[in-house]
Structure 1
């Protein structure tokens, strides 16, 4: 039988589910035929068998005649890139150790820029200037931030308000199914601060980790990233527009360690700034979130100024993870970088190392993904309405990270 993209897509889904039998974290979401999931669990092919089938599927894909329209070509390219990332993941599960940049290239189709410590220290000096006092910048920052912790008893109300504000802004630009919804849960003992578990049928479970203090700025960040217009909207659009609308079954499964994650995390982070300009965010936090949290709204402008600077340290996460995982920084040295360069409190630094150990090069998807999504969206037009339209297109089209550079 001659292969078509539809046949390739079905085999792709089945192979993702097969890899998931060897790594419980690999399949982040699945809402396809239950029989395929059952078949993967009962057959449980070996990694060698999965690798052989991936090679055969890639060969079949190369022989498929693809029509000239852009959407079909993008779909075929996306399937190829995802399958290649699956080959890399299988090799890693078999014991292959990749350098950080090679891992990010093969799993996420992108490489993060490198910056020396001095580059970040110049930003740290600016943070210190905003926070005069005794001791290192990291200590002064943690003392300053204690004023902005959301009391646990108020966390539910603050998070619900932040998510609803993101939803209102999203619905002004993106039409969503009337039945879409989410459940908000608070959890502990996780290496991440927030997570969206998409369940299909336009439903999500959004979890917020309360192991560490949650600062007031994280309400908007997490609300937009995990819900609207981030992961929840992304998955709803994929299900409605691609799986149900076009019958593209490859999108009924989400392999976490794949190029799709750079698009998902990048759009989720870019969606924060798309939803709120700095001025809109300051007004919303001062007028709504600070009072809900019982915090002093007069402190909000200075806090925003500090957070603008801290955002410029984001790539330190990538550089610390790369050096730590490649072996040029010891655990103790990585913790020191996280505290004095990334300006995390000691407990957050320890949690971050736990994330690097568990997720490897995945960390690049947040900041590099955000920058790549922003650059692509803003090349599509100059107005905010055009940016929203391009953002929606990006979230519901089969673009790869490399395609964002074109």
Structure 2
């Protein structure tokens, strides 16, 4: 019997998730399970969002009586059913407060960041960048000097992907058949996106509209590919689906706890693979900046990796600004132009870049998603760094790649 039909409740969960893709195309980020389930949903009448919410609530009630699922699987499915119940109510027109929406989707409670932390980050950047003129102007000049020429972008992507793949496969074995196809795209609200097709294959799209920077590209490739999204998909398909029959892992749904876990993991991918030069994570003490400098040098490109790493670490303290902007927009109902000015002030970006960010924050499908990056990184980095003395960073990160964890499980740990 196919794994997707071996447990009736898991099968109903998969069908329910697939129905959401008929309400909002793209809600199913990937589905690698039984194609017959997708065909069955496609043949159904157009679903009613309120009915989908009721289905999620019903399955949540039935879950408590199921004794054939180990507790971690039941907790995982339950958290995702709560997210789908909220999504169904939202699609049906019910008013749900933004903070409550984020909590239902991602199993995390959010609040606004500390402006003093942002001011401190600006002071650090002021010292690092030097020169004269406004900090925003100097930051824009720094970013402009870091831009990768469009004609060199694909070459740089493949160089970092190859270097990371060799490194990651030595620590986290992957099936021989695993492959990634890279595409450079335009007119998207994101900088990069992983499309996982199953059978250990992904397409990774990189948005050329955002003028990719040398300091960001290693992080983006690690995030989308090795040891980020692609690696996680492959490891879970091999270990949880093929190895342990957990068919619920064949579907990846937008606006669910698995997104927060996946984005937090992916944002930590470069740290896990290379280290930061402070811990002994790599055994050599080399930070990612020095590592990336060597790869760019092989391509004939000059890159001040140590300075880029210092600037990146300072700007990381500004990550919560994006979540603050989402709260201003959807919880406090501030004027769009006010939110744009907030983003420009703290993130030191121009009007065009701020409005590109706002496009993502305003999308009906993606408006809550910024919290997956902010809260995902915070939660998972704390969990990684709180590991026991006898557990290496590689081992701890491997648990994130291999196990069906949810945010509340990490908080409990």
TM-score (norm 1): 0.93
Question: Distance in 1 between the 2:274 and 2:59 partners?
Answer: 43
2:295 counterpart residue number: 288
Q: Is the 8 A contact 1:229 1:271 kept in 2?
A: yes
Question: Distance in 2 between the 1:345 and 1:286 partners?
Answer: 27
1:112 counterpart residue number: 110
Selected match of 1:397 from 400, 403, 406: 403
1:60 counterpart residue number: 62
Q: Which moved more, 1:280-289 or 1:214-223?
A: 280-289
1:41 counterpart residue number: 42
Q: Which has the higher helix share?
A: 1
Question: Distance in 1 between the 2:123 and 2:381 partners?
Answer: 27
Question: Distance in 2 between the 1:253 and 1:187 partners?
Answer: 25
Q: 1 or 2 for the larger relative contact order (CA 8 Å, sep ≥6)?
A: 1
Q: Is the 8 A contact 2:30 2:253 kept in 1?
A: yes
1:332 counterpart residue number: 337
Is the alpha carbon distance of 1:313 and 1:30 closer, same or farther for their aligned partners in structure 2, counting shifts above 3 Å? same
Question: Distance in 2 between the 1:378 and 1:145 partners?
Answer: 30
Cα deviation for residue 291 of structure 1 reads: 5.3
> RMSD of aligned C-alpha atoms?
1.9
2:52 counterpart residue number: 50
1:27 counterpart residue number: 28
Selected match of 1:83 from 81, 84, 88: 81
Q: Which moved more, 1:240-249 or 1:113-122?
A: 113-122
Q: Which moved more, 1:348-357 or 1:371-380?
A: 371-380
Q: Is the 8 A contact 1:19 1:26 kept in 2?
A: yes
2:19 counterpart residue number: 18
2:8 counterpart residue number: 7
Cα deviation for residue 193 of structure 1 reads: 0.1
Partner SS for 1:197: strand
Q: Is the 8 A contact 1:66 1:76 kept in 2?
A: no
Q: Which moved more, 1:368-377 or 1:75-84?
A: 368-377
1:379 counterpart residue number: 386
Question: Distance in 2 between the 1:149 and 1:288 partners?
Answer: 16
Q: Which runs of no fewer than 5 residues in structure 2 stay unpaired?
A: 277-285
Q: Are 2:315 and 1:310 equivalent residues in the alignment? A: yes
Is the alpha carbon distance of 1:97 and 1:366 closer, same or farther for their aligned partners in structure 2, counting shifts above 3 Å? same
Report 1:268-279 matches (<5 A).
268-278=266-276, 279=286
Cα deviation for residue 113 of structure 1 reads: 4.2
Q: Which runs of no fewer than 5 residues in structure 1 stay unpaired?
A: none
Q: How many residues align?
A: 396
Q: Are 2:356 and 1:348 equivalent residues in the alignment? A: no
What are the superposed Cα offsets for residues 225-262 of structure 1, whole Å, 9 maximum, x if unpaired? 00000000111112111111111111111111100101
Q: Which moved more, 1:76-85 or 1:88-97?
A: 88-97
Question: Distance in 1 between the 2:187 and 2:94 partners?
Answer: 29
Question: Distance in 2 between the 1:233 and 1:88 partners?
Answer: 29
Question: Distance in 2 between the 1:9 and 1:236 partners?
Answer: 21
Cα deviation for residue 191 of structure 1 reads: 0.3
Question: Distance in 2 between the 1:97 and 1:188 partners?
Answer: 34
Is the alpha carbon distance of 1:54 and 1:281 closer, same or farther for their aligned partners in structure 2, counting shifts above 3 Å? same
Question: Distance in 2 between the 1:122 and 1:200 partners?
Answer: 44
